[in-house]
Amino acid sequence: MRVAFLAAPEGVEEIELTEPWKAVLGAGWNPQLVSTKPGHVQAFHHLDKAGSHPVDRVLASRTIESFDALVLPGGVANPDALRMNPLAVDFTRGFFESAKPVAAICHAAWMLVEADVVRGRTLTSWPSLATDIRNAGGIWVDETVHVCHAAPAPLVTSRKPADLDDFCAALVKEFGG
């Protein structure tokens, strides 16, 4: 299974990228870092710079065809930058249109709102996004992880880095199922 991890050139929360990445590798799948620009993605630990991660693939109009699933890591700046990029929004929406599973943690739910894919779905996120999700027609719940099967494929969402163990276990189960 080929799993895309979508991240802006700067601002992804490092642990929300690296822990799901390890889970995908542990399942025997092929994770690839997709970004809007070539080079490296600068990760952060909250507001402090953390590691730099090489981009495997630059986002293009037909990139979705190369992947079986999508992981949207958070960090405040990461989804905020990505939701302003039409290719990133279309890429995210395309997984739903193609009935491919998606997992999003923390502020990454902003990408789901921007892609207009939360209507009628139940999900969780960082609590400050609850109103955005409700305004987009979704149902927000305060859970460590929530799996919504209302979509043609599973949508796995989680609130924050402290929930990563539950998030990673759920995404491996749902992506593999």
Report how far residue 11's alpha carbon sits from residue 25's, in angstroms, rounded to the nearest whole number. Answer: 23
Whether the CB-CB separation of 75 and 13 falls below 8 Å is answered with: yes
Whether the CB-CB separation of 84 and 17 falls below 8 Å is answered with: no
**Residue tagged active-site, from 40, 45, 53, 107:** 107
**Residue tagged active-site, from 53, 106, 146, 148:** 106
Report how far residue 177's alpha carbon sits from residue 127's, in angstroms, rounded to the nearest whole number. Answer: 28
Tokens of residue 119, six digits: 């209507």
β 40-45/48-54 pair status: antiparallel
Whether the CB-CB separation of 32 and 64 falls below 8 Å is answered with: no
Residue 53 bears catalytic tag: no
Residue 148 bears catalytic tag: no
Specify the 3-state DSSP secondary structure of 142.
coil
Catalytic sites, residue numbers: 106-107
